[in-house]
Structure 1
């Protein structure tokens, strides 16, 4: 790594959570690599080598620590990365590690050549995209072997290895033990249940109750259910062969370990990498709150207590669902928009029986709305959606299905926002809101929003926009802090 080794070693000694996921430490005396927060006996400085990624540590011949579990380390924020392209590619690799996506297809989605992507990826992570993919699969398999009771064969398939033999060979090569031996060493049982739980790490502090409150107020009936402690929802995603997998997830906080616990039905195992990546996006697990707070604490000069460390920007699990919810929410109350979204889900979504009260449907996909092409105004109008909103939702669905607009994993949110605003019925507020939640855009600001005006009274939208310049590149977080201050 480019950083001074002495500085990194001091962070390692301090077990500073701010550095978790930002680098990894290889211990030459044990050939094990750790997170900087590892609580094992402190290694001597001369035995430490520092790596920018888990993949780089594994390529150097180190095995993951069984105590601190590098697979639980939170990721780095895209905006803070030296290469936004490489960071975005890394997220897409994590999401698709259960499938066989080629480097050419990944590069095309990011709007560059495979050669350029390979070069910037090597500069950022010191490994090739293929090597990074291999490490993602190994760490996902290790997570499943440690935290679940899936069979080793099911783990191999869920992690994208394609065969048990491939998993065994790579595990033996990189970790010097078999998957079965790892499970035995952790005393895991072989009893199967219909529920599976894994952990995902985050950078503390994390204001869990605030994000649950936000999601609860906007929950879509039949699709989402939020209690005082957990978020639950239905899921319907295609596997690598295009077959639909349906089920449910439940997400809760584990503040003592700085992780969230994701419980899901075993029917979602074939799409597990997609599910986990979407959960990370929904709960903003890539956020580094200390960095955000350093910029936004000037908000407290306007009014004490506006900005608090650890506040997240709620993302989305399904980009189309969130975008439709935003269109419906124009000029009506939050509750009314949720009611309309629930009617759309129950009428045009897919019915699902999962045994959880209140969860009955999955939200329709763009193709479901496009199928209403000749009757969309009448079809949605019966549910209480205005003709203008119906046309807008249809136009968005068609643009997404045709690939004209990219919401999931888009490389340039500002470009996609301009495309969104070409759709009649989508203005600046809606485009920014969709970018903030569906595109992981950390720098959206809603200067015309009524909540922003109430939080900062006495300013015109133009003055608010000018004022927000000092909060770049974290204006989405400024928006959330202002809303929460009301």
Structure 2
């Protein structure tokens, strides 16, 4: 979009573009999301930036009315597979805070200088500015939802000093940390608990996404009841527990974290889990347009608009579960995963309901006793090959990995075939354009709709969403294929 198109979108207060770009006003030094209800500025006073960090770096403060820092994330970074998209996903996960710019560049295979140049050209801000914007948003959440002391908030949000924290909050929000807290409402009810709302773009078939996760819930790690999904999180600084449930126009998110420095990473992983940064209108328009896609699929889109492609909070865990579920039912896969969790998972300091363990790490499973694996020898060999490769770093599945390279590395392992590698790419790596032609559920759905496999070509680049429409078209008794279990 050029500046004129951006201005027209802001003039119409079009919420579809929230998170895609930001409008700054030179007469007030404020930046807003496109849907901000405030009076729109004159065209000559409007400036447009591709990220909140770029607007902040140009000297603009966040609008107190529309709170642009809390808008849904740009779907561009989830879709794009180039180095900038990969970098943005890693920054959102907190890699710069934990490993520095050098660590981020090293993961991507670029020098610090090259990476900074690429991000400046595409996003309008370098990795440090982008990480700073992320820290500011985390700080605001902690100020508004916890009773932590100001100094504790500063370090939990990732700032190196209280002074840096104070200066950043004042510069970004136009208020001191105490003033931000003074306007907050509810406080946490137990140590380490954070309650927040996760925004998304409408429409959304949230119930389908939660049902999808609940059907695959591993005992001890996950639970799903009465529309509420809960699970244990393995985070960079410790474990956590998240509870996700539908809200009026957002997802309610309750987090209990062992270390509050993990807040930003936990939020981003929950967003990827439910695919909350997707652009459903773009997906539904492409799949629902009879001229561009098959008319039968268009009918499915009309029945379930806003269908999401659920990801995962832990790519390594998803990969292991994909192997465990090869050629078995959902119930069988859950039983095996639950058994391994009880044997090799890390126990929580205090169980929360039925949640007792974190899912076993790849390193723990790589050293597992083969007698504890109730599966054929070929699948045991595949599991040990996968977990060994993940533990050693030969195979990486973090948000910044090149998807094609990761798939190729998976296919090089014994016992990892095209279905398994593609399923990992679909959910662990959030690829929007994956199709599983050999999946039994897909074959049943295509046959029931009188469609051929070749029809999937017209659904690109949104074949992952078409895949979920096909699964959703099956009846309750046949909705899960033999393989689609992870």
What is the TM-score of this pair, normalised by structure 1?
0.90
Match of 2:137 in 1: 139
* Gap change, CA 1:229 and 1:66, over 3 Å in 2: farther
Q: CA deviation at 1:344?
A: 0.9
Aligned length: 469
* Gap change, CA 1:83 and 1:122, over 3 Å in 2: farther
| Rounded Cα–Cα distance in structure 2 between residues aligned with 1:317 and 1:218 | 14
Instruction: Give yes or no for contact 2:53–2:125 (8 Å, CA) kept in 1.
Output: yes
| Rounded Cα–Cα distance in structure 1 between residues aligned with 2:165 and 2:385 | 44
| Rounded Cα–Cα distance in structure 2 between residues aligned with 1:219 and 1:439 | 19
Unmatched runs of 5 consecutive residues or more in structure 2 = 475-486
Is 1:470 equivalent to 2:438 in the alignment?
no
What is the TM-score of this pair, normalised by structure 2?
0.90
| Rounded Cα–Cα distance in structure 2 between residues aligned with 1:428 and 1:363 | 25
Q: Secondary structure at the match of 2:401?
A: coil
Match of 2:300 in 1: 306
Q: CA deviation at 1:94?
A: 1.8
Match of 1:320 in 2: 316
1:378 to 371, 374, 379: 371
Unmatched runs of 5 consecutive residues or more in structure 1 = 240-244
Q: Secondary structure at the match of 1:343?
A: helix
* Gap change, CA 1:149 and 1:30, over 3 Å in 2: farther
| Rounded Cα–Cα distance in structure 1 between residues aligned with 2:227 and 2:353 | 16
Instruction: Give yes or no for contact 1:98–1:160 (8 Å, CA) kept in 2.
Output: no
* Gap change, CA 1:44 and 1:82, over 3 Å in 2: farther
| Rounded Cα–Cα distance in structure 1 between residues aligned with 2:354 and 2:78 | 39
1:368 to 341, 352, 364: 364
Q: CA deviation at 1:40?
A: 3.0
Instruction: Give yes or no for contact 2:53–2:129 (8 Å, CA) kept in 1.
Output: yes
Q: What root-mean-square deviation, in Å, do the aligned CA atoms of Structure 1 and Structure 2 show?
A: 2.4
| Rounded Cα–Cα distance in structure 2 between residues aligned with 1:39 and 1:229 | 33
Q: Secondary structure at the match of 1:25?
A: strand
Match of 2:252 in 1: 261
* Gap change, CA 1:192 and 1:331, over 3 Å in 2: closer
Q: CA deviation at 1:170?
A: 2.3
Match of 2:354 in 1: 358
| Bigger shift: residues 58-67 or 146-155 | 146-155
Instruction: Give yes or no for contact 2:61–2:171 (8 Å, CA) kept in 1.
Output: no
Q: Secondary structure at the match of 1:236?
A: strand
Q: CA deviation at 1:431?
A: 0.7
Instruction: Give yes or no for contact 2:435–2:463 (8 Å, CA) kept in 1.
Output: yes
* Gap change, CA 1:355 and 1:369, over 3 Å in 2: closer
Match of 2:242 in 1: 249
* Gap change, CA 1:290 and 1:449, over 3 Å in 2: same
Q: CA deviation at 1:43?
A: 3.6
* Gap change, CA 1:303 and 1:235, over 3 Å in 2: closer
Match of 2:481 in 1: none
Match of 1:242 in 2: none
| Rounded Cα–Cα distance in structure 2 between residues aligned with 1:78 and 1:146 | 29
- 1:64-463 alignment, distance < 5 Å: 64-78=62-76, 84-96=82-94, 99-186=97-184, 193-239=191-237, 245-256=238-249, 259-297=250-288, 298=290, 299=293, 301-302=295-296, 305-307=299-301, 308-372=304-368, 376-380=369-373, 384-457=374-447
| Rounded Cα–Cα distance in structure 2 between residues aligned with 1:362 and 1:101 | 24
Instruction: Give yes or no for contact 1:158–1:269 (8 Å, CA) kept in 2.
Output: yes
Q: CA deviation at 1:238?
A: 3.3
| Rounded Cα–Cα distance in structure 2 between residues aligned with 1:192 and 1:225 | 21
Instruction: Give yes or no for contact 1:83–1:124 (8 Å, CA) kept in 2.
Output: no
